[in-house]
Copies of this chain bind each other. A is one copy, B any other.
């Protein structure tokens, strides 16, 4: 491959040394204002197929080991936090519906969520409070974070597995809305 130019080398070094994923803006600021987007594209191409790859998660970039190397590395590292079933479902509901209130999560799960469930997800850095819904009681809203995307290897929320299918099937709509849609469809059929 052609030798990388100074900007490519600088972006490479900065991302390599960084302890956290960085936005293109943060890299640019760190490098004193140079344009880094072409360098990021170049690096992504350079590392394609290697044991390390450059990935974009949300608007942040980081190097990580290639996913097919997992079997070699897993044994040396501890398993990340094991999530309870309630935790996984709550996280999925927030991710696919965000922003979502606690009541909306409970409506889907059919049970109250214990205080600890949201705490664990917040402590992991995967969800965050995201304002309040402007309805009586002004309930707190929850949404996912940049760390969530990074941890689960998602380039963006659009990459959530099956998101489009679920949307198309109306499975992300509230029940009342789904019900009305069905009623209308039935009424139309009867005509």
Contacts and interface: CB of A to CB of B under 8 A. Distances in A.
B72 A16 contact: no
- A-side interface mostly: helix
Contacts of A30: 72, 75-76
Nearest to A65: B13
A72 B26 CA distance: 13
Interface string A13-50: 11011000000000000110000000000000000011
A187 interface: no
A69 B9 contact: yes
Contacts of A4: 49-51
Contacts of A76: 17, 30
Interface residues of A, number: 27
Number of copies of this kind of chain in the complex: 2
A15 to B, nearest CB: 9
A73 B13 contact: yes
A147 interface: no
B10 A69 contact: yes
Contact of A9 (B11, B13, B50, B63): B50
A12 B52 contact: yes
B49 A13 contact: no
A10 B8 CA distance: 24
A98 B16 CA distance: 35
